[in-house]
Amino acid sequence: MTVTLQPVLAQLNSVILGKEPSVRLAVTCLLAQGHLLIEDLPGVGKTTLSHAIAQTLGLSYQRIQFTSDLLPADILGVAVFDRQQGGFQFQPGPIFAQLILADEINRATPKAQSALLEAMEERQVTTEGKTRPLPEPFFVIATQNPSHQIGTYPLPESQLDRFLMRISLGFPSPEAERELLRGMDRRVMLQQLPAQLSADELKTAQQAARAVHVSNALLDYLQALLRQSRQSEFFSLGLSPRAGLGLLHAAQAWAWLDGRDHVLPEDVQSVFPAIAGHRLMVADAGKMSAQPAGWILEQTPIP
Amino acid sequence: MTRLPALTHQRYWLSAALLACAAPHFARMPLWISLFVLLLLGWNVLQTAARLPAMPRWLLWGIALAAAAGVLAQFHTITGRLAGTALLLTLAPLKLFELKTVRDEVVLLLSSTFLLLSQFLFSESMGSAAWAIFAFWLLLLAWTGCQEFASLARHPRQRVRWAGRLMLQALPLMLLLFVLFPRIPGPIWGLPPDKNSSISGLSDHMTIGNIADLILSDAAVFRVQFHGSIPPLQQMYWRGPVLWDFDGRSWTAPPLPSMRPALPQNAQPLRYTTTLEPQESRWLFAMGAPLALPPDSRLTGDYQLLYSKPLKQRTRLEISSAVGDTLPFAPLSDWEEQHALALPQDGNLLARQLAASWKGSSPRRIVARALNFFATQGFSYTLTPPRLGPDTVDDFLFRSKQGFCEHYASAFVFLMRAAGVPARIVTGYQGGEYNPLGQYWLIRQSDAHAWAEVYFPDQGWTRVDPTSAVALERLTAGIGHAVPASQLPAVLTELDSSWLKRSRLTWDMLNTRWNQWILGYDQNRQLDLLKRLHPMLASWQGMIAALTVALMLTTLVLARQILHRPRPPEDPAQRLYRTFCRKLSAIKLERRAGEGPADFAARAGRLRPDLAADIQAITSLYIGLRYRTGAGDLPTLRQRIRTFRPRAI
């Protein structure tokens, strides 16, 4: 079975205008079986993007709005007493869906955040002494406001590391914005979006991406990037082995989207900023340019 | 402070390292100290293995104080070489019981290292050095188990490799320091010698039986390497103390008047190097009369070659001698005549009678008659002569007739003096053992000998060895052949077994080399060597400067090796691609360090559309080789890059 994701990309780009690179990264993240964090200002299309992805891929979709009074039970579900049955009945929470949009994740308290992040890592939920698996595939898109805004609980490093990628959308270009203003209402459009892929096809695509060939030369380069991040004096925290593994899988997915059976250093470079950006802790912000990931890419020669 | 991970293995390593450092001291310490150390080590291993509760603090303190008190009681001090070492030896194992932090472990390792070093205060032999290397390797092994290494090197094989590599890295630094570190004359530690360690040897006093005691010792006295001709064994008389005065029982050397000894004229010189083992005396045991004085030495009127101070360190000297039976001729001085004819007032009447009957003949005739007397009157050579009465000479000559070289020399000189021929006793060594592996002669205490010198008016002092009249084999083949095997001490009979003899010779040769090249590398040799390398080096300033520079260079080389791991062999495709990039950079198409090959090809193609096709083709060949499987075509890539000749616009 050969699967192509071109129709998926085309449909997403018709909804999110002028954001091809971000859309492509989001799809890559999904293919690499990682979770996605979108950090941006309100109203640039974060929710629209995640909703469009769910619709296009034909995934069951739940949205959780994170607020400061959100409790873990609001995410995971609660046991409710059933009179007819005469016992407690588990009411699954919104987490039991294939694609979760966790909106404004950094507005909730750490307690609620960790309930979600546990589920992301384990791909199962344990409540009231019983473990329940989450559906397959399971994909979380979290959005957060830039952390300097009022009323936020920034995610700690350990939890940021669970997101494979962090992307931002940014304001659209004037042409894209004009088209948006002239075009159809996005809410209506989203409801009309046909599914372009079945769950099986998605699984096949994910497996195919994992099988893309990685040469030793490429691993040399990848390790050189990791080493650079760990040895540089500018970062108090280098990239973890988990980040390295994610980088590899994402580069494979990127190459697969390109229709290649092998990974090139360019693939690594394309996904690197999205993967490294939220994991690198800049030790001395004064000395570092705004783009630490870009700096590492420039400083690391390709062997 | 870093807490230690609970690694039981680490305890065993530390105990093993400490044991290795302490072991060389066991032989020289009182038994209770060695037992105490072993007991503590054993207890610690048991405690670790059986997970017994830690020793309470008060008990540790109690044991430490008791150990210190024990050392104080044993040595009446806690400082000085032996007592200080004993204190360290008893206290170091106690540290094993309070390993709580990394710091504790480092303290223990450092004290073990110090303990290991302290063995060189007692012995600088090759065996000690070899043991030190082994023990230090164990120390490093234990060291790799502590601190931040611990998590990295859990596997013993990894640690063994690390410790070995650390030692190899230290090797060049060690050699540099050995060659270049300025030497101070004499040992650095000016420790007084221990009172009880007197080294026995010949002295200026000989009582009958002295030399027979020496024969029992196989200790080396000196080694000789001849340059040029080697005299026959029976000519090898190494002269030591010369004894003039006889009181009826023992011979002594009187204080000599100042006499200028005549140096030999136009004699055939015999040149050799002698290396004397440390001893309390000053005799250099020259053969015959020296032609010229070695540095720091003095020649007495009776041709004893003396060093300026006791030979407490191993000393190496070049000597050239005139060899023969006679010493250079000089008229007999009054002092010599008086002492060389003096006899005790009374006693030994029979000997005096015998000598009186020879009076009137020429001195040579008298000597011949005396030797003949020994040869024909049933005398025998033995290491176990019977006890002699108060008239030692008479008793020996007419009753026991069994004796050793000192009996013969003593009786002979007595007879000469009684017959009016000036004579004196010379003690020293005779012969030696040749070591064919090292090509030198080894002279042991068992080669000790006594003989006589007689003054002939026409010839001067002449050597006469009365022992030769009785046991010629003693002089030609060594003592082992002169007496029955049952009389020989074990050390001498062993020499006959050939493989044993061979291994003894090999061991002695190795030790000699060690003494010569490692321990003997003193200030003079260092200056000699460095002068030959470069005259600037032969001063301490030069040495320090050279040492600093050399240490810096070595450290740099080592640091480079450590920081830059050897790279894996370069991919041929990569090398070709580098050539390709060089060609492009020549026409100002520079590839950025972090630019991928496909990106670079696209950019270069945009900038130079005329080359785009070539660049694209080469790049995809390269990518095929480097990043794909089974898509390699190296010859084509090589060919394309060779023919790729871009021109600048």
Q: What is the DSSP letter of B101?
A: B
| Interface with chain B: mutation pick from A264, A267, A272, highest number of B CBs within 10 Å | A264
- Of B302, B405, B407, B581, the active-site residue reads B405
Residue B385 CA from chain centroid, whole number: 37
Q: Is the pLDDT of residue B491 over 70?
A: no
Q: How confident is the model at residue B194 (pLDDT cuts 50, 70, 90)?
A: very low
Contact B629 A297 (CB under 8 A): no
Q: Out of A218, A269, A298, whose CB is closest to B627?
A: A218
Q: What is the DSSP letter of B329?
A: P
DSSP B253-319: PPPPPP--PPPPPS--EEEEEEEEPP-SS-B--EESEESSPPTTEEE-TT--EEESS---S-EEEEE
Q: How confident is the model at residue B197 (pLDDT cuts 50, 70, 90)?
A: very low
Give the pLDDT confidence score for residue B387 in this predicted structure.
79
Give the residue on A whose Cα is nearest the Cα of B599: A266
CATH number 3.40.50.300 is the correct assignment for the domain at A6-205: yes
Cβ-Cβ contacts under 8 Å, A217 against chain B: 571, 574, 626-627
Nearest chain A CA: its distance from B554 CA (Å): 25
Q: How far is CA A272 from CA A25, A247, A251, in A?
A: 10, 7, 8
Q: Rounded distance, CA B327 to CA B455, Å?
A: 10
User: Residue B214 in contact with residue B479, Cβ under 8 Å?
Assistant: no
Is B449 known to be catalytic? yes
Over residues B438-451, the mean pLDDT reads 86
Give the pLDDT confidence score for residue B487 in this predicted structure.
58
Length of chain B equals 649
Query: Looking at the complex, does the CB of residue A266 fall below 8 Å from at least one CB of chain B?
Result: yes
Cβ-Cβ contacts under 8 Å, A298 against chain B: 592-594
pTM over 0.80: no
Query: Looking at the complex, does the CB of residue A301 fall below 8 Å from at least one CB of chain B?
Result: yes
- Of B465, B508, B581, B614, the active-site residue reads B465
Q: Rounded distance, CA B198 to CA B200, Å?
A: 6
Query: Looking at the complex, does the CB of residue A30 fall below 8 Å from at least one CB of chain B?
Result: no
Can you read off the two tokens belonging to residue A231?
Answer: 């040895």
Cβ-Cβ contacts under 8 Å, A222 against chain B: none
Instruction: Give span(s): CATH 1.10.8.80, chain A.
Output: 212-299
ipTM exceeds 0.95, yes or no: no
Residues 6+ positions from A227 with CB-CB distance below 8 Å: none
Residue B249 CA from chain centroid, whole number: 39
Give the pLDDT confidence score for residue B145 in this predicted structure.
78
Nearest chain A CA: its distance from B614 CA (Å): 20
Half-sphere exposure of residue B65, counting CA atoms within 13 Å on the CB side?
Answer: 6
Q: Is the pLDDT of residue B198 over 80?
A: no
Cβ-Cβ contacts under 8 Å, B629 against chain A: 213, 215, 262
Give the residue on A whose Cα is nearest the Cα of B628: A262
Highest-pLDDT range among A42-46, B2-6, B641-645: B641-645
Q: For A212-299, which CATH superfamily applies?
A: Magnesium chelatase subunit I, C-Terminal domain (1.10.8.80)
| Interface with chain B: mutation pick from A212, A215, A254, highest number of B CBs within 10 Å | A215
Contact A213 B626 (CB under 8 A): no
Contact B597 A302 (CB under 8 A): yes
Q: Out of B596, B599, B627, whose CB is closest to A215?
A: B627
Q: What is the pLDDT of residues B282-298, one digit of tens each?
A: 888 988 888 888 888 88
Q: Is the pLDDT of residue B26 over 70?
A: yes
Query: Looking at the complex, does the CB of residue A252 fall below 8 Å from at least one CB of chain B?
Result: no
- Of B449, B508, B581, B614, the active-site residue reads B449
Name which of B39, B43, B94 is nearest B68 in CA terms.
Answer: B94
Phi, psi for B135 (deg, rounded to 5): -65, -35
Cβ-Cβ contacts under 8 Å, A291 against chain B: none
Give the residue on B whose Cα is nearest the Cα of A264: B627
Across chain B, mean pLDDT equals: 83
Contact B593 A213 (CB under 8 A): no
Cβ-Cβ contacts under 8 Å, A215 against chain B: 626-629
Q: What is the DSSP letter of B433?
A: E
Q: Rounded distance, CA B281 to CA B307, Å?
A: 9
Terminal C-alpha separation, chain A: 36
Contact B593 A303 (CB under 8 A): no
Over residues B358-362, the mean pLDDT reads 87
| Interface with chain A: mutation pick from B565, B626, B627, B629, highest number of A CBs within 10 Å | B627
Query: Looking at the complex, does the CB of residue A265 fall below 8 Å from at least one CB of chain B?
Result: yes
Give the pLDDT confidence score for residue B151 in this predicted structure.
52
Q: Out of B594, B597, B629, whose CB is closest to A298?
A: B594
Across the A/B interface, how many CB contacts are shorter than 8 Å?
48
Q: Out of B594, B595, B629, whose CB is closest to A213?
A: B629
Contact B628 A262 (CB under 8 A): yes
Contact B628 A302 (CB under 8 A): no
Name which of A37, A55, A60 is nearest A186 in CA terms.
Answer: A55
User: Residue B588 in contact with residue B647, Cβ under 8 Å?
Assistant: no
Give the pLDDT confidence score for residue B484 in this predicted structure.
60
Cβ-Cβ contacts under 8 Å, B594 against chain A: 269, 297-302
Contact B594 A269 (CB under 8 A): yes
Q: Out of A264, A298, A300, whose CB is closest to B627?
A: A264
Q: Is the pLDDT of residue B22 over 90?
A: yes
pLDDT, averaged per 10 consecutive residues of chain A (303 residues), comes to 78 86 91 89 83 87 88 84 80 87 86 84 81 86 76 78 88 84 79 83 89 90 89 78 92 92 91 88 63 83 82
Sheet holding B315-322, edge to edge: B289-290, B315-322, B269-276, B220-227, B440-444, B433-435
Give the residue on A whose Cα is nearest the Cα of B626: A217
User: Residue B109 in contact with residue B143, Cβ under 8 Å?
Assistant: yes
Give the pLDDT confidence score for residue A68 in this predicted structure.
85
3-state secondary structure B340-397: HCCCCCCCCHHHHHHHHHHCCCCHHHHHHHHHHHHHHCCCEECCCCCCCCCCHHHHHH
Instruction: Give span(s): CATH 3.40.50.300, chain A.
Output: 6-205
Q: Rounded distance, CA B205 to CA B44, Å?
A: 55
Over residues B401-412, the mean pLDDT reads 88
Is B405 known to be catalytic? yes
Q: Is the pLDDT of residue B3 over 50?
A: no
DSSP A88-146: EEEEE-TTSSSEEEEETGGGS-HHHHHHHHHHHHHSEEEETTEEEEPPSS-EEEEEE--
Half-sphere exposure of residue A224, counting CA atoms within 13 Å on the CB side?
Answer: 19
Q: How far is CA A273 from CA A13, A88, A291, in A?
A: 21, 48, 8
Contact A302 B626 (CB under 8 A): no
Nearest chain B CA: its distance from A49 CA (Å): 29
Percent of chain B residues topping a pLDDT of 70: 90
Q: Out of B592, B594, B628, whose CB is closest to A213?
A: B628
Q: What is the DSSP letter of B213?
A: H
Query: Looking at the complex, does the CB of residue A222 fall below 8 Å from at least one CB of chain B?
Result: no
Give the pLDDT confidence score for residue B75 in this predicted structure.
86
Q: Out of B592, B593, B598, whose CB is closest to A264?
A: B598
Give the pLDDT confidence score for residue B477 in this predicted structure.
64
Nearest chain A CA: its distance from B574 CA (Å): 8
Highest-pLDDT range among A285-289, B35-39, B76-80, B434-438: B35-39
Q: Out of A264, A299, A300, whose CB is closest to B623?
A: A264
Nearest chain A CA: its distance from B563 CA (Å): 13
Cβ-Cβ contacts under 8 Å, B592 against chain A: 298
H/E stretch holding B424 reads: strand B423-430
Q: What is the pLDDT of residues B113-132, one digit of tens each?
A: 999 999 888 887 888 899 99
Query: Looking at the complex, does the CB of residue A276 fall below 8 Å from at least one CB of chain B?
Result: no
Q: How confident is the model at residue B17 (pLDDT cuts 50, 70, 90)?
A: very high
Q: What does DSSP say about strands B297-299 and B460-464: parallel, antiparallel, or unpaired?
A: unpaired
Give the residue on B whose Cα is nearest the Cα of A296: B594
The 3-state DSSP class for residue B3 equals: strand
Give the pLDDT confidence score for residue B2 in this predicted structure.
44
**In this structure, which amino acid lies at residue B479?**
I
Query: Looking at the complex, does the CB of residue A212 fall below 8 Å from at least one CB of chain B?
Result: no
Contact B626 A299 (CB under 8 A): no
Q: Is the pLDDT of residue B475 over 70?
A: no
Contact A215 B592 (CB under 8 A): no
Q: Out of B571, B598, B629, whose CB is closest to A266?
A: B598
Give the pLDDT confidence score for residue B567 in this predicted structure.
65
